[in-house]
């Protein structure tokens, strides 16, 4: 449909129709099962209001959505098709590693391929829009939704988020196998105080602009067609009603011209915030801020007409919002084909197909972060006579897909036992559950509960101890429950459940040769785990190919490719912790011997495992940083180079990381900032020159006058394998 036709349609619509296009409701209201992420009992919508809605969330299935689309279009006066939206966060049916684990790959190309795969499956099932990527900067492991981000660094987040947008949307969202991406949550959602979901965010404008906004901007520059508002307040104003944030920053400065949608119930929740006296006030604030679609509250449909009559809103504001919704439907090609790609036969062919499983398997191995490998215990020997015991509640567990993953059949997730047995091991392998997930009844989110069976404890433990005594190597498969992470799963305790830690301690008493695999959607306290294990590997929540990928990596067919996308603390009391913090006037040298310096008197001022850290099965050495010049001016480039050498005895891949530090500025600058990375594969003994071009804009920031610029001064270049390693050179920015 041409633009003039869209505008003609808009002019022919009644006010009620236009406002109806601005409402999104859950599929439950159409008699369909759907995911509910907020209270529904209050949602008393009339049939007439339901008939005018413009979009539906959280239902899928080609035949089901075709029927819903037909029924809705028949009732809609102008037969305008519905938009179907869904949280496709890390795969539709073929579940791949959670976003935080994708961040660990430091591989935007992989993220793009995964998003493209998810779009093929989701669009075949009738979905038009995914609520992904989440570009929120996350620095506090207590916050459950760190799982949905790619980590604590805005540069990495920006590259990964933009790649996901390209993967979902391709060159044209109307193309077969593509869907529109919705960047979330704008803005600063990851800065929630205390790591408490939905809580206040308190950021200076400089911090917001320098550190939180860049990743959203990269995703928007990749042409994401939707943006979602965040639940939090910013500068004491809820984002959903924040006119400065949405109109000036998002629309004017960032140039976003797509659809702005609220999060679930966020418009009405401004009443709870205390910035709106009632839902009528909330509607005025949200539409006035440019929010086009209200998700799961009724402030618009109940009050916008009245607000127009009172002069508090204008018809032009409604028209602008409605036209953006109609344009999105048009961009997706829904006026010509309201089903888009929904096709039951394509669903059967694509969902969990071999090619998709293969990619998910590759991604999982690439995301695994090896944190310790004492005595080269990994990779494990796969030879006759070698005895390996796999012990723990994740040794044969299908629920390895994390929160925000909704496979129709969890039994299709490959467990570690299934993957190892399928690999046809020559080694003598056994499997024991060892312990239950928790040592008592435990309340999970969404009303779920884990029910503890006290009678199982001793038999499980006895079996595990007996197996550990007989084994040459023990692989402990431990971690947090998949529903201990994600939305509404903030935690003050980020340890592995005590029941599992007790299992680790008891096994360590009889066999010191322990490899611990950690399942999690966030950084955990791993000090004791590391002390009791010869090897520790984060496998996150790897998805449907978990067991196959674990077998590949443990026995050396592939190496663990991940590098930490978030810093891992010694203790939760250090949270939030992140590598690129500001320098202090009283710096700490990382020991407890100093007095009156920044830090704690009972904990060293460093983390257990730093951002960017990870090991493979070989070793690498870095030569000194060499610069092509020592002065860098406007329009110029300096090339920084290191010689990277594989000093081990097998092929491996190193993630080479470039960090820059502005040593002096008109405002305090971070100790260092990631500004480039590259994955380099080398044979044993092979060397390669790895170079990065540095330009002045890579050192730009909001200066004392809130001008985005770079300033002359001395700068440092670090090129190394993680954020804590020093291998540097300096130059002058002039």
Catalytic residues: 263
Q: Could you tell me which of 386, 340, 361 has the C-alpha nearest to residue 69?
A: 340
Burial 557-572 (b: 16+ CB within 10 A, else e): ebbbbbbbbbbbbbeb
CA–CA separation, 25 vs 499, rounded Å?
Answer: 41
| DSSP character at residue 693 | E
The rounded distance, in Å, linking the Cα atoms of 459 and 461 is 5
How far apart are alpha carbons 88 and 119 in whole angstroms?
9
Strands 129-130 and 428-432: unpaired
Query: Is 369 within 8 Å of 614 (Cβ atoms)?
Result: yes
Tell the burial category of 153 from Cβ atoms under 10 Å away from its Cβ (0-12, 13-18, 19+): buried
Three-state SS across 513-538? CEEEEEECCCCCCCHHHHHHCCEEEE
Distance CA 446, CA 38 (A): 9
> How many CA atoms lie within 13 Å of 450's alpha carbon, on the beta-carbon side?
18
Contact 561, 366 (CB under 8 A): yes
State whether residue 503 is helix, strand or coil. helix
- Name the one residue in this structure whose structure tokens are 């490998």: 373
Is 321 in contact with 22 (CB distance < 8 Å)?
yes
Nearest to 487 by CA among 239, 146, 212: 146
CA distance readout (Å), 400 to 91, 420, 493, 545 = 13, 15, 21, 9
* CA R_g for the chain: 26
DSSP bridge pairs for 370: 537, 615
The answer, yes or no, to whether the previous bond of 326 is cis (omega within 30 of 0) is no
3-state secondary structure 259-298: EEECCCCCCCCHHHHCCCCCHHHHHHHHHHCCCCEEECCC
d(CA 101, CA 114): 12
Alpha-carbon distance 579 to 669, whole Å?
13
Q: Which residue has the tokens 């779920």?
A: 448
d(CA 186, CA 191): 12
Residue 83 has which token pair? 């938009």
C-alpha dihedral (405, 408, 412, 414), degrees to nearest 10: 10
Q: DSSP states of 382-420 as a string? A: -STT-EEEEESTTTT-S--S-TT---S-GGGSPPHHHHH
Please tell me the distance from the alpha carbon of residue 230 to that of residue 197, in angstroms, as a whole number.
Answer: 11
Helix (H, G, I), strand (E, B) or coil at 55: strand
Beta carbons of 530 and 523 less than 8 angstroms apart: no
Distances (CA, A) of 722 to 339, 614, 633: 47, 8, 28
> CA-based angle 423:414:360, to the nearest 5?
90
């Amino acid at each position: 449909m041409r633009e003039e036709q869209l505008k003609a349609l808009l002019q022919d619509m009644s006010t009620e129709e236009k406002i109806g296009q601005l409402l999104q409701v859950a599929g439950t209201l159409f008699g369909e099962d759907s995911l509910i992420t907020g209270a529904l009992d209050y949602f008393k919508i009339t049939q007439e209001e339901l008939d005018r809605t413009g979009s539906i969330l959280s239902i899928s299935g080609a035949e089901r959505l075709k029927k819903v689309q037909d029924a809705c279009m028949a009732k809609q006066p102008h037969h305008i098709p519905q938009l179907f939206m869904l949280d496709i966060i890390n795969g539709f049916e073929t579940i791949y590693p959670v976003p935080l684990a994708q961040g660990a790959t430091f591989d935007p190309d992989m993220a793009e391929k995964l998003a493209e795969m998810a779009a093929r499956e989701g669009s075949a099932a009738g979905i038009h829009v995914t609520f992904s990527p989440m570009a929120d900067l996350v620095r506090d492991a207590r916050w459950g939704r760190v799982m949905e981000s790619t980590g604590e660094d805005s540069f990495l987040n920006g590259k990964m988020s933009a790649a996901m947008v390209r993967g979902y949307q391709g060159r044209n969202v109307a193309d077969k196998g593509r869907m529109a991406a919705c960047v979330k949550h704008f803005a600063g959602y990851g800065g929630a105080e205390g790591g408490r979901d939905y809580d206040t965010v308190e950021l200076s404008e400089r911090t917001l602009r320098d550190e939180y906004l860049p990743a959203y901007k990269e995703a928007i520059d990749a042409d994401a067609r939707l943006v979602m508002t965040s639940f939090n307040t910013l500068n004491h104003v809820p984002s959903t009603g924040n006119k400065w944030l949405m109109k000036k920053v998002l629309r004017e400065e960032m140039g976003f011209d797509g659809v702005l949608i609220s999060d679930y119930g966020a418009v009405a929740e401004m009443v709870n915030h205390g910035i709106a006296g009632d839902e009528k006030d909330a509607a005025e604030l949200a539409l006035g801020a440019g929010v086009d679609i209200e998700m799961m509250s009724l402030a618009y449909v109940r009050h916008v007409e009245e607000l127009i009559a009172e002069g508090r809103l204008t018809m032009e504001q409604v028209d602008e919002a409605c036209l953006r919704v109609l344009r999105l439907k048009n961009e997706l090609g829904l006026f010509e084909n309201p089903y888009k790609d929904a096709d039951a036969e394509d669903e059967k062919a694509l969902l969990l197909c071999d090619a998709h499983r293969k990619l998910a398997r590759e991604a999982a191995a690439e995301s695994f972060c090896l944190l310790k490998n004492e005595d080269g215990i990994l990779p494990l020997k796969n030879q006759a006579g070698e005895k390996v015991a796999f012990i723990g509640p994740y040794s044969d567990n299908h629920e390895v897909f994390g929160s925000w993953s909704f496979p129709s059949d969890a039994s299709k997730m490959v467990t570690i036992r299934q993957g190892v047995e399928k690999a046809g091991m020559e080694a003598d392998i056994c499997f024991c559950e060892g312990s239950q997930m928790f040592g008592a009844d435990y309340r999970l989110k969404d009303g779920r509960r884990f029910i503890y069976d006290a009678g199982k404890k001793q038999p499980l433990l006895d079996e595990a101890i007996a197996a550990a005594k007989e084994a040459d190597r023990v692989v402990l498969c431990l971690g947090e429950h998949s529903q201990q992470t994600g939305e509404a799963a903030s935690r003050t305790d980020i340890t592995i459940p005590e029941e599992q830690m007790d299992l680790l301690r008891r096994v360590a008493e009889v066999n010191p040769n322990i490899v611990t695999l950690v399942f999690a959607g966030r950084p955990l306290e791993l000090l004791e785990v590391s002390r009791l294990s010869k090897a520790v590997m984060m496998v996150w929540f790897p998805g449907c190919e978990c067991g196959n990928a674990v077998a590949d990596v443990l026995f050396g067919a592939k190496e663990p490719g991940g590098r930490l996308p978030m810093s891992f603390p010694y203790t939760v009391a250090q949270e939030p912790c992140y590598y690129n913090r500001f320098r202090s006037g009283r710096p700490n040298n990382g020991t407890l011997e100093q007095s009156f310096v920044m830090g704690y008197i009972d904990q060293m001022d460093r983390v257990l495992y730093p951002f960017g850290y990870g090991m493979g099965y070989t070793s690498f050495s870095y030569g000194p940083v060499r610069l092509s010049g020592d002065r860098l001016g406007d329009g110029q480039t300096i090339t920084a180079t290191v010689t990277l050498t594989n000093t081990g005895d097998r092929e491996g891949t190193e993630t080479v990381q470039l960090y820059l530090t502005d040593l002096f500025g008109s405002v305090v600058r971070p100790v260092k900032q990631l500004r480039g990375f590259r994955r380099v594969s080398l044979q044993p003994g092979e060397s390669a020159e790895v170079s990065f071009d540095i330009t002045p804009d890579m050192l730009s920031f909001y200066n004392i006058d809130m001008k985005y610029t770079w300033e002359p001064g001395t700068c440092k270049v670090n090129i190394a394998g993680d954020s804590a390693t020093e291998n540097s050179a300096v130059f002058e920015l002039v």
